Amino acid sequence: MTNGKLQIIPLGGLGEFGMNCMALRWQDDIVVIDAGLMFPESELLGVDIVVPDITYLIENKEHVRGILLTHGHEDHIGGLPWILSELNVPVYGTEFTLAYVEGKLEEHKMLDETELIEMMPGGRFTLGPFTIEPIRVTHSLVDCVALAIETPVGVVVHTGDFKIDLSPPDGKAFDLHKFAEYGKRGVLLLLQDSTNVDRQGYTPSEWSVKPRLDEIFSRTKKKLFFSCFSSSIYRMRIAMDLAFHHGRKVAVIGRSMVESSEIAQDLGYLDIPNGLLIHPGQIADHAPENVMVLISGTQGEPMSALSRAAVDNHKHARIAPGDTVLLSSRVIPGNEKSIYRVIDHLYRRDAHVIFDDGHAGLIHVSGHASQEEQRLMINLLRPKFFIPVHGDYRHLKKHAEIAQSMGVVDLAMVIEDGDVVELTRDDIRKTGTVTAGRVCIDSGSTADVVEDLVIRDRRHLSEDGFVIPILTINKLTGMVERQPEVISRGFVGGDPELIETARQVVARTLEESSAEEKADYGVIKEKIRIDLKRYIQKNTSRRPLIMPVILEI
């Protein structure tokens, strides 16, 4: 079929951030690297996640030997339930990555029928004509690997997400020696993470946040709310060490934060001293200066623990005047509005808020390599050919230019999702394309696939119609000026009695919401949508499109 040529076929992650998925093919054998998702832009109404179009893999399902995972972030493992519903193949990952995968597959009731195989850095294994060696790399998550794949035409190295951290908090350093060994033996192709190609210099070590965080801990007089990505195990470890050192008990709040910390404890990445952790219900039993709350919601997600705490709507997390809230994370582009909205709420509570404001000293470091580390990796491996991965087109283009300008690689090539690249020992060229693109999935279910947004919306409206709750809110007072109205069109079961009860559901949601929540349209719309969706589904088994409208007066 390929007559002695190796094919590289990206299906996601080249031309966008997220949705990372790449196929390597030699004749009748295919291995897939990563199976990620992407969170939708705001214009994709009603879509919860976006996954790669795997038509090519489905068409060749009898040739797919397995899925290799570089690490456990959503943009690398989040598409697995969807992909595995079409392809029943083994999944290979490190111990920590597979712990995340297990939780995800259990949620989708797919764990029992999926074969999960642990791979260890340095432990070589064979899949068809491919011999794979995972190599330890460092990132913002633990237990991450690059993949060195020996193929009949030469070695292909896929870095996964990485930065070069020689002293990470878990002591498992980036394996420079192994990369240098491969460089001496000869590398045909390097596929390298492009995320931070715009940043010059080096990305600091995870430890570099500790001095500034230590200073914040020592200055904080009341409760300290510490928020970071729930997958930032290193950051959680540093925060817990500092809490112990400063005599603070730790309460963990937020589902994702609780799950991650439990997995990290089970696998030995978090060594928590006896008596340090308290139940969230015990926060009030301790003096404020003796408590740290590790809380999820660093991106301002409307129903996250921090967003709810910021408007006094959390059972245990109460933010009082003088408390400190530390957001130890970066602002992901597109989330600025929701993050600053939460920060506004926190300031209204007279909390002291610390976020990435350019202050001297770091409260967050990236998990991705900057330009000098990217150059170092290229110099270590000295690949014949180079293809940048993970990023928008401008990142890929700039990365290829940097690699080419170093005089190490013969050819740096920019490719995008769906391109087919063929390699021999001496040549690399684009030879065609396969079907690639995005598949939109509604409500996180593997069943509700949206082939095309327009078709999906038309089908959704034609089957279940739509329901529009209309609220009139006074912007200054946050008061509801008149009774909410509920309008439905094309909604089967929209009899007057049901609509009247739906109106009461909306009214009750409003009554149970604080003035501040009502002034925060993102939160109030989401609360109304969830409550109304639950009521309508329960009483009619229908799923109309629910679009709350707020009239501001």
**Residue given tokens 């329901």 in the structure block:** 467
Q: Rounded to whole angstroms, how far apart are CA atoms 291 and 229? A: 20
**What is the C-alpha to C-alpha distance for residues 175 and 318, in angstroms, rounded to an integer?**
44
- Give 435's contacts (C-beta < 8 A, 6+ positions apart): 53, 55, 56, 418
Domain membership of residue 155 (yes or no) is yes
Q: Are residues 133 and 197 in the same domain?
A: yes
**Bridge-partner residues for 183, per DSSP?**
none
DSSP state of 273: P
Residues shown for the chain: 553
Answer yes or no: do 14 and 140 share one domain.
Answer: yes
Within a domain: 528? yes
- Mark which of 354, 384, 404 sits at the end of a domain: 354
- Whether 464 is covered by a domain: the verdict is yes
Please tell me whether residues 196 and 212 are part of one structural domain: no
Binding residues for Ca(2+): 46, 48, 442
- Could you tell me the CATH number of the domain that includes residue 424? 3.60.15.10
Q: For 132-151, give one letter per residue: b (16+ CB within 10 A) or e.
A: bbbbbbbbbbbbbbbbbbbb
Interatomic CA distance for residues 510 and 504, integer angstroms = 10
Name residues whose C-beta falls within 8 Å of residue 426's C-beta, 6 or more positions apart in sequence.
none
Last-in-domain residue among 354, 376, 401: 354
The domain that holds 272 is classified in CATH as 3.40.50.10710
The count of domains in the chain is: 3
Residue range(s) defining the domain that contains residue 116? 6-201+366-441
The pLDDT value given to residue 417: 96
Cβ neighbors of 407 (< 8 A, separation 6 or more) are: none
Q: Do 336 and 371 fall within a single domain?
A: no
Distance (Å, whole) CA 9 – CA 24: 6
247 shares its domain with 112: no
Collapsed DSSP state (helix, strand, coil) of residue 42 = coil
Per DSSP (E only), the strands in 201-333 are 224-227, 249-253, 277-278, 291-295, 324-327
Interior angle at CA 161, CA 449 and CA 408, nearest 5 = 125
Distance from chain centroid for Cα 109: 21
Please indicate, yes or no, if residue 1 is contained in any of the structural domains: no
Cα–Cα distance, 148 to 172 (Å, whole number): 19
Average pLDDT per consecutive 10 residues, the chain (553 residues; last block may be shorter):
81 92 97 92 66 95 97 95 94 98 93 96 97 97 97 97 95 96 97 96 94 95 96 96 97 96 95 95 96 95 92 94 95 84 96 76 90 97 97 96 97 96 96 90 56 62 81 76 84 76 90 83 89 88 85 81
Pick from 253, 259, 234: nearest CA to 365 = 234
Which one of 379, 408, 441 terminates a domain? 441
Annotated binding site for substrate: 364-368
Mark whether 136 and 182 lie in a shared domain. Answer: yes
Q: Are residues 109 and 233 in the same domain?
A: no
DSSP 297-362: -TT--TTSHHHHHHTT--SS----TT-EEEE-S---TT-HHHHHHHHHHHHHTT-EEE-SS--SS-
Q: With respect to residue 448, please indicate whether it lies within any of the assigned structural domains.
A: no
CA 416 to chain centre: 21
Q: From the annotation, which residues make up the binding site?
A: 46, 48, 71, 73, 75-76, 139, 161, 364-368, 390, 442
- Report the alpha-carbon distance of residue 529 to residue 527 in Å, rounded: 5
281 and 333 fall within a common domain: yes
CA pair distance 386, 411, nearest whole angstrom: 6
CA quadruple 187, 193, 199, 204: dihedral positive or negative? negative
- Residue 6 pairs in a beta bridge with 26, 423
Query: Cα–Cα distance between 207 and 219 in angstroms, integer?
Result: 20
Residues labelled catalytic: 193, 368
Q: Is 361 within a domain?
A: no
The domain that holds 521 is classified in CATH as 3.10.20.580
Q: Are residues 174 and 277 in the same domain?
A: no
393-405 vs 371-381: helix crossing angle, rounded to 10: 50
Whether 29 and 170 map to the same domain: the answer is yes
Say yes or no: 187 and 279 in one domain: no
Report the distance separating Cα 315 and Cα 300, nearest Å: 18
Bridge-based pairing of strands 224-227 and 249-253 is unpaired
Please report, in range form, the residues annotated as the binding site for Zn(2+). Answer: 71, 73, 75-76, 139, 161, 390
CB of 244 closer than 8 Å to CB of 271: no
Q: What are phi and psi of 12, to 5 degrees?
A: -175, 150
Q: Are residues 196 and 223 both part of a single domain?
A: no
Is 447 inside any structural domain? no
Is there a contact between 544 and 464 (Cβ–Cβ < 8 Å)? Answer: yes
